[in-house]
Amino acid sequence: MRLPASFITRRDFLWMAAASSAAFAQGISQRKVKPLPRGKPSGIPFLARFTDVAAEAGLTNPVIYGGVQHKNYIYETVGCGVAFFDYDNDGWLDIFVLSGMRLDEHNPNATNRLYKNNRDGTFTDVTVEAGLVRTGWASSVTVGDYNNDGFEDVFITYYGQNVLYRNNGNGTFTDVTRQAGLLYEGSIRWGSGCTFVDYNRDGYLDLFIANYVDLGKGVIPKPGENPYCNYNGVPVNCGPRGLAMPHNYLYQNQGDGTFREVTAQSGIAKAEKTYAMTAVAADFNSDGWTDLYVASDSTPSLLFLNRRNNSFSEEGLERGVALSEDGMEQAGMGVAVGDYDLDGNLDIFKTHFSSDTNALFHNDGTANFTDVTIASGFGVETRYTCWGTGFADFDNDGWPDLAVVTGSVYPEIEAKFPDFPLKTPRFIFRNLGNGKFEELMEGAGQGISAAHCSRGCAFGDFDNDGDVDIVIVNLNEPPSLLRNDLTGDRNWLKVLLVGTKSNASAIGSRVLVKYGSKVQAQAVLGQSGFYSVNDRRLHFGLGTNTHANLEIHWTNGLVERFTGIAANQLITIREGRGMVATPLPGMKTKANSERQNPR
């Protein structure tokens, strides 16, 4: 029998199959793209080596987050962030690790944890003493001094009620959610990304809160319950696609310890609803007003440009940071902001689901972005589901590198598809200085090549040795603390901004550091990576340069310049009041590390 004229050709069939698996087989946008062929290794030595010292440093409690073998619901899978911040102002980075819980068991270990830096390479769990014990589905964290009292406060989003902790300045925190006006009752929200941001330049940190899925509408089907909740035939948790999308929220700091919701009047509510994840506040168009970028999962990412009149306009699509180069939705998870090509502008890197590349967007300085993923060499990696990320000059060669942590969301599929394991390695893309990056795994040390199911990560110099270390959340495992054992004698500079008219944490401020013929921009961020917070001391590798010039763009509009700054020290700049240069406090030299309340 001859086949009918409308016989489905193999091409049609394959296209149909590909389309259905790409868009619908599971609930995450999986743009199937082709990894680029890998070029020959550059052969340039990479002097940074990462060693996981979490166990010996005392970070031994697992981050409880959903089922281990099976995850039935999407909120078990997304995971949480981590913060490097100095909660006691002793000059040493402490670590705050968020936590989830289990659906089917009470686990007394399921709490967020604050680890105090002992200044000898180890940490002590001070969660109980600090008043931070809390069990729930925590998502993300932002750290900032919302009441300008000189101590960093903490805001955490939850699947459930978000929480604001005021830092009491004595090693303890108080839950002030209700007093601050941030309690919501009668509705279920799933807070995802969040960031402190002074959007109206009044010197007080406001609060932007992204929401991931609107669980108040409809229901979450169980794994395998419909064709959209399976991964190549294996029943898996559903979503986010197919679940209702929420809008995001903006709260204005009233300056009296309370916040007022301004979502509607600020234009935030006007934006398309998306599955919003990590939120970043920075001045992308260099106009002195802080903008917002939100990575969205499986939907267009959002760029809220500050209109300088207490409102924002969402222009992600028009500005080239909403979709892929070909206009396809991508599963945006984490965001790094940095100046990879040293043109003085803040570029954006966004992490995605497996089978897609991550994306690098080049900023022309006016918040018009070009997708340079392929040209910059990021197209070679599509194997892993990528989450936390950050620009940091790991080898202090003067060119910001990039790190990414990874991990699957479907523990169930590994048994059937060994090529899709739950635990996957991290990777570094080292900056070759010519607009291109080179991927490193083993070449960056055991801490990078080790496989874990990771989510958030934060970058900072926890041992104050002049390089950038990494702390990483691993689901249902203890965190990783990757100590950077950098060799060589390259120079660096750290810059700590303290606002006096601008918000005290200087979140949103932009720093340009000029060294040799290079100029690098960085911003003080309230959140980045995946749901996480980096060391607020901005770290600049200087290569062989021994001096640098600084240009500070404070969020309140003041621009300050400092010239001839010697390398290898911490520069603390108080807005309008000059700078103080100090060496980094060394291990076990407590006298060096004591600092005054900076405000």
Partner 1 sequence: MEEGRFHEAEGLWRKLTESKPRNASAHANLGLALARQGQLPSAAVEYRKSLAIQPNQPAISFDLGLAEFKQGHFAKAIPPFKSANKASANDPRMPVLVGMSYFGLHQYGDAIPYLEKASKSDPANLEIHGVLAKSCLWSKKYDCALAEFKEIVSVNPDAVQAHMMLAEALDAMNRKADAINELEIAERTSPDEPMLHFELGYLYYTQHDYEKAAQEFQLEIKNNPKYALAYTYLGDIALHNNDDASAESFLTKALSFQDDVRLAHFDLGCVYADQKRNQEALAAFLRAEHLDPTEPDAHYRLARLYMALGQKQKANEEFAKTKALHAKVEESLIQKVSGGGQAESKPTE
50-79 residues near partner 1, rule: CB under 8 A: 73, 75
Q: Are strands 538-543 and 570-574 parallel, antiparallel or unpaired?
A: unpaired
User: Under the criterion CB under 8 A, does residue 366 sit at the interface with partner 1?
Assistant: no
CB 156 within 8 A of CB 162: yes
Query: How many residues in the chain?
Result: 599
Question: Applying CB under 8 A, which of residues 241, 350, 455, 494 lies at the interface with partner 1?
Answer: 241
Q: CB under 8 A: which stretch of 1-9, 247-255, 262-270, 453-461 binds partner 1? A: 1-9
Instruction: Give the span between the Cα atoms of 431 and 394, in whole angstroms.
Output: 10
Q: CB under 8 A: which stretch of 51-59, 177-185, 234-242, 263-271 binds partner 1? A: 234-242
Rounded to a whole number of angstroms, the minimum distance from the CB of residue 599 to partner 1 is: 33
The residue (of 325 and 465) whose beta carbon lies closer to partner 1 is 325
> Rounded to the nearest 5°, which phi and psi values hold at 76?
-80, -15
Q: How many CA atoms lie within 13 A of 541 on its CB side?
A: 25
Instruction: Give the span between the Cα atoms of 510 and 133, in whole angstroms.
Output: 34
Rounded to a whole number of angstroms, the minimum distance from the CB of residue 560 to partner 1 is: 35
Question: Applying CB under 8 A, which of residues 122, 228, 501, 560 lies at the interface with partner 1?
Answer: 228
Rounded to a whole number of angstroms, the minimum distance from the CB of residue 424 to partner 1 is: 18
Question: Applying CB under 8 A, which of residues 299, 480, 509, 556 lies at the interface with partner 1?
Answer: 299
Instruction: Give the span between the Cα atoms of 57 and 399, in whole angstroms.
Output: 29
The residue (of 161 and 254) whose beta carbon lies closer to partner 1 is 161
User: Under the criterion CB under 8 A, does residue 23 sit at the interface with partner 1?
Assistant: yes
User: Under the criterion CB under 8 A, does residue 183 sit at the interface with partner 1?
Assistant: no
Beginning with the edge strand found earlier in the chain, give each strand of the sheet holding 191-197 in spatial order: 191-197, 206-211, 249-253, 259-261
User: Under the criterion CB under 8 A, does residue 579 sit at the interface with partner 1?
Assistant: no
Binding mask 426-465 for partner 1 (x = CB under 8 A): ----------------------------------------
User: Under the criterion CB under 8 A, does residue 225 sit at the interface with partner 1?
Assistant: yes
User: Under the criterion CB under 8 A, does residue 226 sit at the interface with partner 1?
Assistant: yes
Question: Applying CB under 8 A, which of residues 229, 277, 331, 567 lies at the interface with partner 1?
Answer: 229
Determine the 3-state secondary structure of 313 from DSSP: strand
Rounded to a whole number of angstroms, the minimum distance from the CB of residue 137 to partner 1 is: 6
Instruction: Give the span between the Cα atoms of 490 and 159, in whole angstroms.
Output: 44
Longest dimension (CA), the chain: 91
User: Under the criterion CB under 8 A, does residue 36 sit at the interface with partner 1?
Assistant: yes
Please count the residues of this chain forming the interface with partner 1, following the rule CB under 8 A. Answer: 62
CB 129 within 8 A of CB 172: yes
Which DSSP string do the residues of 259-328 spell out, in sequence order? EEE-TTTTTGGGSPP--EEEEEEE-TTSSSS-EEEEEEBSS--EEEEE-SSS-EEE-HHHHT-SS-TTS-
Rounded to a whole number of angstroms, the minimum distance from the CB of residue 330 to partner 1 is: 11
Rg of the chain on CA atoms, in Å: 23
User: Under the criterion CB under 8 A, does residue 264 sit at the interface with partner 1?
Assistant: no
Instruction: Give the span between the Cα atoms of 332 and 278, in whole angstroms.
Output: 8
Instruction: Give the span between the Cα atoms of 202 and 193, in whole angstroms.
Output: 23
The residue (of 107 and 589) whose beta carbon lies closer to partner 1 is 107
Binding mask 326-355 for partner 1 (x = CB under 8 A): xxxx--------------------------
Residue 161 structure tokens:
């009620």
Cα→Cα distances 15→12, 21, 32, 241, Å: 5, 10, 12, 21
Instruction: Give the span between the Cα atoms of 538 and 536, in whole angstroms.
Output: 6
Interface residues with partner 1 (CB under 8 A) are 1, 4, 6, 8, 10-11, 13-14, 17-18, 23-24, 27, 34-37, 73, 75, 101, 103, 135-137, 158-161, 188, 215, 217-222, 225-226, 228-229, 232-233, 238-239, 241-245, 272, 299-300, 317-318, 320, 323, 326-329, 374, 417
